[in-house]
Structure 1
Amino acid sequence: MRTTKLLAAAGTLGLALSATPALAVNGHYVGGIEGTKGPSLPPEGLYYRGYLVQYEIDSIQDDDSNDVPLDNEGSVTAFANRFIYVTDKKFLGADYGMETIIIAQRNDFDFEALGADQTESGISTVFLGPVILGWHGKQWDSVFAAGHWFDTGDFEAGNPASDGKGFGTTMLTLGGTWYFDEARDWSFSALSRYEIKTEQDDTDVTPGDSWIVEWALGKVLNNGVEVALAGYDGWQLESDSGPQTTNAKVEQHAIGAEVTFPVKAIGAQLSGAVYTEYANKNRPEGNLFRLHLTKAF
């Protein structure tokens, strides 16, 4: 029974992980990297945001959110460079902006259940977002955005540590921030991403659409530091299609805390967060640590 369960899980997870970067649900976007007030577009100007993400994998979860047998550990280290330009133009009453993201990533996996002990690194993906629309009210902000993840990394079917995914992803964004008081000290934000994938190179598999939601309940303290309860949740909404695919779908859930504070010496803002994942399905599970620095020019 143990051997049968292991072989079944390995077969399902082998297909899932060959199409799934360990950080994301089953696409390119990584939940938990934005956090507090993620849907609030900044004022007109040019901005740089650098993200440092460390994901420590403790186990691989099956379709019932149980640990797959044997030792399955690993880590992902990613550094993303994001440039945002908010113009002085308006569209549908919203501020109009655009963005690009370039990600370098290192994957180090030792998955005994899959017979995979591999390390790969390189430029994994490039995102171009020609449309960002941000609306602002007295006690609210909202955002809509659209763009595409181009898979620029190397992909090898059957190697879950590949820094490339072998497919591209069109991403649609919708979210909002609500401020509970006029001083905007208390806020709740939710930022959702809908991902639509292309067919994967070499396998002819098309990963199913997915939906990711990041949320945060934040409080600005008297010294300007903001603390928040934060989390992210992701669901694969459709099964993969193509040769040798199954009905298995990926889920990812996490809860954590975030602290954001100004770095006045350089006119920047630094944010750090830590998340613990739970109840994942058909994917790795672990802890995610994230730092991001935002600088306006």
Structure 2
Amino acid sequence: MTQVLAKKSRKHAGRWTAAMLPVLAGPALAANGHYVPGVEGIKGALVPPPGVYYRGYLAHYDIDSLRNDQGNKLPQNNTGSVSALVNRFIWMTNKKVLNADYGVEAIIPLQQTTLDFDISGIDRRERGVGDIFVSPMVLGWHGQQWDAVLAAGMWLDTGDYSGTEPASIGKGFRTTMLTLGGTYYPDAAKSWSFSALSRYEIKSKQDDTNITPGDSWLVEWGVGKQLDSGLELGLIGYNAWQLENSKGAPAGKMAKHALGVEGSYFWPSLMLGLNVAYLGEYEVQNGPSGDLLRLTLTHVF
């Protein structure tokens, strides 16, 4: 009887993994869509003043398990990792739109994905340039005790993708991403900050598989305290949900929830900022579960 149940469990898990392959392909740390939760944290909703900026995100995500729709681990050893250098270029102009600073941005990710899923016999590694993001609209408002952002852009299907390659660098579909967020400073010195940054993703059809991933929504948040030395420390986290089932795929909705810490420092003489963050996922449904280590370098030109 035990052997029969074990065989049924492996068979069910195999079906689950096969159904998830088109979704896992590309950045496995993303929650169903393109955007990677956890890359922004303290003051994540702050838009800089007019100028040209570069932000380099060095992220490493360790996959320690695969989770089913109940949040339980799938059997056997299912591990992997995603390492990425994400290059973000921001130009905030001197123009005003709706009384907000207006800017544009582009994101070019370089990525390596390694998957070792015993449950489905997957042992793959791929590297290359991922899907590129372009945004023709970044709006930033600045009040005495608050900041806000509204933006819209698209992830293009520029990265290599194959419906039979779970470690594909690209996603194989395009994503329209809408952004809305704000930061509040409760004290006059702005030493404390409370921020929330939300992303809504609308996906196109994946041509290789005819699957249309369901819309997703996530919120990154941060609570920070800037010390007299200039060092800023705080708690960060993210909550991500797939809001609707993917069309053409039997797998259920994905969800990810994580909690972590962040520290940052800015050197005015160098016009250089550095952020270090660690996040651990404490609840995941229908996807890979793991930890994210992030290093962010910001340069003001």
Percent identity between the aligned chains?
Answer: 52
Deviates more, 1:157-166 or 1:182-191: 157-166
- Cα separation, 1, equivalents of 2:77 and 2:224: 37
Partner of 1:207: 213
Matches within 5 A, 1:188-267: 188-242=194-248, 245-246=249-250, 248-264=252-268, 266-267=270-271
Per-residue deviation, 1:157: 1.2
* Distance in 1 between residues matched to 2:11 and 2:104, nearest whole Å: 46
Looking at structure 2, the residues matched to 225 and 173 of structure 1 have their Cα atoms a distance apart, in angstroms, of: 28
CA distance in 1, matches of 2:278, 2:92: 29
Are residue 116 (structure 1) and residue 137 (structure 2) matched? no
Query: Where does 1:1-297 land on structure 2 (aligned, <5 Å)?
Result: 1-20=5-24, 21-242=27-248, 245-246=249-250, 248-264=252-268, 266-297=270-301
Write out the 4+ residue segments of structure 1 that deviate beyond 6 Å after TM superposition: none
Q: Secondary structure at the match of 1:8?
A: helix
Q: Which runs of 5+ in 1 are unaligned?
A: none
> 1:124 corresponds to which letter in structure 2?
G
- Asked if 2 retains the 8 angstrom alpha-carbon contact of 1:195 and 1:209, the reply is yes
Give 1:73's aligned amino acid.
T
Residues 14 and 158 of structure 1 are in contact (CA less than 8 Å); yes or no, is this contact kept in structure 2?
no
Asked if 1 retains the 8 angstrom alpha-carbon contact of 2:251 and 2:286, the reply is no
Q: TM (normalized to structure 2)?
A: 0.96
RMSD: 1.1
Query: Mind listing any 5+ residue stretches in structure 2 that lack a counterpart?
Result: none
- Structure 1 pair 2/279, CA: closer, same or farther in 2 (3 Å)? farther
State the distance in 1 between where 2:295 and 2:259 align.
16
Aligned length: 295
Distance in 2 (CA, whole Å) between partners of 1:16 and 1:117 is 16
3-state SS in 2 of match to 1:2: helix
- What is the alpha-carbon distance in structure 2 between the residues aligned to residue 88 and residue 130 of structure 1? 15
Letter in 2 for 1:295: H
Structure 2 residue identity aligned to 1:203: T
Cα distance, 1:113 vs. partner?
A: 1.2
Tell whether the 8 Å contact from 1:13 to 1:283 is kept in structure 2 after alignment. Answer: no
